[in-house]
Amino acid sequence: MENQTIRKYKLFFAWNDDKEEAWLSKMAREGWHLQSLGFPGSFTFTAGEPREDVYRLDFIINRKDYQQYLQLFRDAGWEHVGEVGGWQYFRTRKQGNQMPEIYTDNASKAQKYARVIMPLIIFLPIFINLATRPVSMESRYYDFYSITKLVMSFIIMLYTYAMVRLLVRINRLKK
Amino acid sequence: MANDKELFKYLPLTEATCYILLALIEPLHGYGVMQKIEQLSKGTVIVGPGTLYGAFSTLEKDGLIIKVGEEDRRKSYTLTSKGKSILQEHLRRVEILTGNAKLLKGE
């Protein structure tokens, strides 16, 4: 018999990834185990026995050592469930009272959030350029440009907000 | 060998970095390092795979450790002479520090 699956949509912010981890663990306790990830915010769960699983998210976009990276986590007892947009989803069984962690000090955890900021910084100048490019009123694409500028301005605001939240998180970890 | 400027940059080593370097006195792959640290530290220090992966790249980039092999997607590293001299200097200072523990015991 095929296992029952459900799909859930839920958005989490990068600086609140521990909330996402807690939610995935809660689903596991209720017998729903993360099976795969679709586009960001889409989760597929498969039905099973309730389990005390610990989920941890890492962020890595450097593909050079990806297989070695996954092997290290596997050796350490973490199952790689999937990846979306650089976010790596790992899971392990909770043993006793000890909470298994992929990051065991604040300095390395801060580095993870610093890696999340990097792509934001790289794309920001492109968006700023698109948002501030002067548009001639006579251009036949005037409407299109105006909408693009509006969308870009919105993205820049969102980006800036995300960067501030991530920097706050990093600073708190460094204290 | 590490010069004074480099020593200043790395010292004092964090407990995790110190144990990673200690474990790499002989070549080991990632999971071997994790097990060795748990054993050397009598369970007082646990290094997770995320922390270790980041430490490996930083230490390799800075020339404190070097890759010596790869088997089944597991890279082995060992200390360079620079890594060794930094570790030695760190341990020398820690020994002086722990020597001062007698102050607390009121001897």
Question: Residue A8: its pLDDT value, please?
Answer: 95
> For residue B77, which of B42, B48, B34 has the smallest C-alpha distance?
B34
Q: How many residues does chain A have?
A: 175
* pLDDT band with cut points at 50, 70 and 90 for residue A40: confident
**pLDDT grade for A138, boundaries at 50, 70 and 90:** confident
**Closest approach of chain B CAs to the CA of A144, in angstroms?**
44
How confident is the model at residue A125, as a pLDDT? 87
Is residue A152 very low, low, confident or very high in pLDDT (cuts 50, 70, 90)? confident
Read off the pLDDT of each residue in B24-51 and give the average, rounded to a whole number.
96
A99 and B CB contact within 8 Å: no
Q: What is the pLDDT of residue A136?
A: 75
Q: Sorting pLDDT into bands at 50, 70 and 90, what band is B28?
A: very high
Identify whether the C-beta of residue A154 lies closer than 8 Å to the C-beta of residue A162.
Answer: no
Flag if B53 and A69 touch (Cβ within 8 Å): yes
Query: Does residue A139 have a pLDDT over 80?
Result: no
Interface test with A, best of B20, B51, B57 (most A CBs within 10 A): B51
Mean pLDDT across chain A: 91
What is the ipTM, given to two decimal places?
Answer: 0.89
Cβ within 8 Å of A, B 32-91: 34, 46-55, 57, 70, 72-75
Contact predicate A149/A135, CB 8 Å: yes
Q: What is the pLDDT of residue A66?
A: 95
Contact A73/A90 with Cβ under 8 angstroms? yes
| B41-69 per-position pLDDT tens digit | 999 999 999 999 999 999 999 999 999 99
Check if the beta carbon of residue A103 is closer than 8 Å to that of residue A119: no
Cα(A101)–Cα(A112) distance, integer angstroms? 14
Average the pLDDT over each of A88-97, A129-138, A163-172, B33-42 and give the range with the smallest value: A129-138
